[in-house]
A and B are shown apart, each in its own frame.
Chain A
């Protein structure tokens, strides 16, 4: 692990090179390993050690940015030279609010040495167990098991220095037969919290139950959505409207809806970078401490998350949601999302459904229209018809086209259990339950 002292020295040495000019350094080190398997064997197995040093150099309100993965003297000299030249080339940004001042930042523990040091052999043994279980059922397992660590530090010439070290682990598998598949996934910052055996069994069970799927007509169905689907709903609403920039530009599903009840009373969504039940990160990529932000409370739209730039434009303070500089074009994003649990189990949701669909996962979902966050995508890895409160038979995959705001307005029941899933995009972490939703619109089916 890169210790705080080392990170501080690197940051200070860069800021010193800026010779009194306002500047901000974001420093990231990552060690990542991933074991990938398919056809019940390991076919790709990789390791990476990298760093990213990003410098924003300010001449008044002229801003120049440069980044490098070199931390040697020549690399850092070159970094400062390029950032300075870019600042000179850039006209002033009248909306730039200046660098933040130091504010005390809460320490959150998210480091597990066992996860950081987890070996390729340990991952291989876990993968081997799932492959054996799948093979025993004449099924074909594929997936990925990743472990690693990230160190993040942000410093600026006004005295901000923040440091956070975090480990991460994720296991995901798709188990397939000729005509069926099942998938499971879990993320955690402690690798030992991943129950790989249970995840393997979950995917295998779905694949076994999915044989001989029937083609059904598209149309409106009541759906019981596994938490993997809820992740997609929440992430899409995040990308297309939980940030203040989207709201300011009039392209958020929140526009004209602040303070209005547009979702079901049993839907509450918030972001909390300090909650150890998620994947904690106590500050953002400007070094601003993260605040808990209620985004939807009992169906009522409360408001977006802010970074300093969008906050200044909209007369608000930053809530600590600046993204990494190369994602800054997206504006602020919620990176540590939670959806409130309910009081139902998935079997109870199925039992209370006269006719509907149980869906394990959505796939390749894309925005069709920003207003209402209309999305299209496919079901994947487990779809079953529910009849008279029971899973009646597997069905072939369907295409849906559905406003996600409407989907969350139609929530009838929320799962008791919540699960953490960490996505690839900026490492957004969500802790989400399963949902039962009425009137979900399917617009096509596959071969």
Chain B
């Protein structure tokens, strides 16, 4: 409050402050040896001020009164400097006066589970991975984090939140001849992550899935390659589809990209504002939602980092593009209200527009029926590489594993699978989405954006879906 008072007194028309304590535990086992067993803690304070319509921000790890006075003055000085090269005055829209507390619901607080017990789970998974001949490198990981943060603003908002995440997974790498093949579980890069407790880690049953994925990695070495440069029907498994949603739905709907704020770094977006409520983004079975309320989602919280309450809003409804991910400032410019998408990766970063949980709503298909309904195609699962252009049009993805589909049946395994497309063409070619029984909230804890860089944790609920006439097999 001292920082807000000082900012007010020295002419800021708006200021907010966040005090954040962040704890993290990380464990990694590689080939039966503990590669990393660590715990970290950071804390600090960040103050954001608006002076004459221009922004300034300063932050420090030091929470003493003297240091808070120093960074408040520094934020004001920076805001004055911003004013030297400024445009239209910032309008934040309606006041935000949120009050309250929020805590991620957990059954087992992961920080109350001993390191020995956590390690025992990873070691058990490692032993199971080691039972398959031909695996070159075995890895298992667990990550737990707890963030305690206060937010206060000169508009009277004051919130306190404790957010808890648990993540982990396993990976097997097989090497033979000129081939290097990887299989991961439950998610690509051996890292599924959710808001929740240790119960999530237990539910994934890493040891019970270890031999399967290790065998798949070895089998991939001699599997047939993905057919080269053909056009076919593509069924994407849930975790791969989650990244597809992240890259080709989540990012282009970020309103700061549309307004050019990220032009120099993350890029812009093809979803310009004249397309709102008129552009056919996908087929009628495509429904996309941004929410910060669904259980397990990495974008689930009580309030965003502008104090706006968690909520749910449509991005694409029956294929029509109807909404953006917005901040107070960008929403005001568009004539709408923020849908709580301003998130900072820590006390030392400003909030910027980030994905919350951007999900593809479930359709009506059972997975087996979808395969049975496909005469000729490929099923791909678990991401291996991803690349998309700066407007979020042209993408190319690679997956760890694929299976040929012939006459309604899954057939031979395929290695080095890739597919490419143009975002709206791809989503308009979607003709089937699996039902809620197959719908899983996936975590993407590595979304980079902003300068200085910020890594956000985002959620993506998906069920497998089918896309027609997709180009596959682009390796070189």
Number of A-B contacts (CB under 8 A): 263
Say if the beta carbon of B440 comes within 8 Å of chain A: no
Say if the beta carbon of A142 comes within 8 Å of chain B: yes
Find out whether the CB atom of A173 lies under 8 angstroms from the CB atom of B37. Answer: no
CA distance A443 to B420 in the complex (A): 10
Closest to B77 in A: A120
Set B352, B385, B396: member contacting A444, Cβ < 8 A: B396
Set A41, A146, A403: member contacting B86, Cβ < 8 A: A41
Closest to B34 in A: A90
Which A residues are CB-close (under 8 A) to B115?
A: 85-86, 89-90
Which B residues are CB-close (under 8 A) to A436?
A: none
- Taking the closest CB of chain A, its distance from the CB of B55, in whole angstroms, is 6
Chain B residues 357 to 395 lying within 8 A of chain A, measured CB to CB, are 384-391, 393-394
Chain B residues 135 to 179 lying within 8 A of chain A, measured CB to CB, are 136-137, 173, 175, 178-179
Say if the beta carbon of B121 comes within 8 Å of chain A: no
Find out whether the CB atom of B84 lies under 8 angstroms from the CB atom of A121. Answer: yes
Which A residues are CB-close (under 8 A) to B265?
A: 144
- Taking the closest CB of chain B, its distance from the CB of A446, in whole angstroms, is 4
- Taking the closest CB of chain A, its distance from the CB of B133, in whole angstroms, is 16
1/0 per residue, CB under 8 A from A, across B111-142: the answer is 00011100100000000000000001100000
Find out whether the CB atom of B36 lies under 8 angstroms from the CB atom of A46. Answer: no
Q: Would you list the 6 A-B pairs with minimal beta carbon distance, nearest first?
A: A120-B81, A65-B38, A89-B115, A250-B175, A142-B264, A446-B394
Set B57, B81, B175, B259: member contacting A121, Cβ < 8 A: B81
Say if the beta carbon of A127 comes within 8 Å of chain B: yes
B contacts with A: majority SS: mixed
Which A residues are CB-close (under 8 A) to B270?
A: 447
The count of chain A contact residues (Cβ–Cβ below 8 Å) is 91
Find out whether the CB atom of B420 lies under 8 angstroms from the CB atom of A444. Answer: yes
Closest to B452 in A: A34
Set B41, B180, B396: member contacting A251, Cβ < 8 A: B180
1/0 per residue, CB under 8 A from A, across B36-72: the answer is 1111111110000000001111111110000000010
Find out whether the CB atom of A444 lies under 8 angstroms from the CB atom of B394. Answer: yes
Set B44, B264, B453: member contacting A50, Cβ < 8 A: B44
CA distance A85 to B85 in the complex (A): 52
Find out whether the CB atom of A89 lies under 8 angstroms from the CB atom of B36. Answer: no
- Taking the closest CB of chain A, its distance from the CB of B184, in whole angstroms, is 15
Find out whether the CB atom of A329 lies under 8 angstroms from the CB atom of B33. Answer: no
Which B residues are CB-close (under 8 A) to A277?
A: none
Find out whether the CB atom of B180 lies under 8 angstroms from the CB atom of A44. Answer: no
- Taking the closest CB of chain A, its distance from the CB of B369, in whole angstroms, is 33
Which A residues are CB-close (under 8 A) to B451?
A: 34, 36, 44, 144, 146
| Contacts known (A401-B476, A444-B474); A250 close to B452, Cβ less than 8 A | no
| Contacts known (A46-B452, A95-B33); A39 close to B39, Cβ less than 8 A | no
- Taking the closest CB of chain B, its distance from the CB of A417, in whole angstroms, is 23
